[in-house]
A = this chain, B = another copy of it.
């Protein structure tokens, strides 16, 4: 009796915050809470990369997922930040490994400082991500910790697979999907999951929210691959065709190889064997790739694949045992991910 009254009160009083509100809360929290410590050489790079911004999609997912169960979202800002700090640790180290000069239009950490600082401040960030979990109660900490560890090691495995694929010519589409699942999607899954755990969700539901995030993450990464070749230069904010120039094996390329007949295979092999080209030759290469991709209909295949994972994510969300009305913002978020042009 008492329990059902409390339950009813919960339904009435739980206020679902809008995406825009949550984004403002997150942004303010990040501005007000730097990662402080000494020596400065260790901590400045950490706050530098965090200040470069980004969409803060992962903290938003933590808060939205938690908000399904509780409206005191301020209580999980530290948890949300842990996920973002972890994500940015991977960016610092990945940028060293990829020898990337730019991140979000600014110098990468190892360029602005040096590689040693990049390695060490990345390490410190990974530790600080764990430290941000310290305020959780022992029982919630344990479950969040398990999810966090599992995901963190998977992200490393995904990055290693990505590096392995650079020197392999026999990567299958299944292997590619597995790689991007590990490298990108599981962290979006974990963002939803830890938010749900902190909110007190049943395990079955926190797992469904994990699946929602994971599938949405796959749709997101495939959309990213698509935009790399078919995006609008101005809107996308970076050069179109970068993956093609770098001979990166994304879904588009792998699908093209799969659908090509013998003549087209020769053409594709020649195209993806070329490197160190002039800008003019690079533009030519990108155009040729687009032509053969269009001919083979790989964009349609990709759109179907994106649609497939988007549908799977929505199905997972629909099966979560929470009133449908509460899921509106999460559905809106998923839609924005899928329909984005940048």
Q: Give the B-binding residues of A (Cβ under 8 A).
A: 37-39, 41-42, 93, 96-97, 116, 119-120, 122-124, 126-128, 130-131, 133-134, 138-139, 141-142, 145-146, 149, 152-153, 156-157, 159-161, 163-164
Contacts and interface: CB of A to CB of B under 8 A. Distances in A.
A157 B37 CA distance: 9
B142 A138 contact: yes
A156 B124 contact: yes
Nearest to A156: B124
Contacts of A149: 127, 130-131, 134
A207 B111 CA distance: 41
Contacts of A130: 130, 145, 149, 152
A93 B164 CA distance: 21
Contact of A127 (B133, B134, B153): B153
B134 A41 contact: no
A149 B128 CA distance: 8
Given A39-B164, A145-B134, A128 B153 contact: yes
Contact of A131 (B119, B120, B128, B153): B153
B161 A39 contact: yes
15 contacts: A39-B164, A42-B160, A93-B119, A93-B120, A96-B119, A97-B116, A120-B156, A120-B160, A124-B156, A130-B145, A130-B152, A134-B145, A134-B149, A138-B138, A138-B139
A342 to B, nearest CB: 29
Contact of A152 (B41, B116, B127): B127
Copies held by the complex:
2
A18 to B, nearest CB: 34
Contact of A123 (B41, B128, B141, B156): B156
A149 B132 CA distance: 10
Nearest to A41: B160
Most buried by B among A38, A128, A149: A149
A170 B41 CA distance: 17
A124 B153 contact: yes
Residue among A122, A131, A160 with the highest chain B CB neighbour number at 10 A? A160
Contacts of A96: 116, 119
A157 B42 contact: yes
Nearest to A123: B156
A97 B126 contact: no
B141 A145 contact: yes
Contacts of A146: 134
Nearest to A132: B149
Contact of A38 (B119, B152, B157, B159): B157
Contacts of A120: 93, 97, 156, 159-160, 163
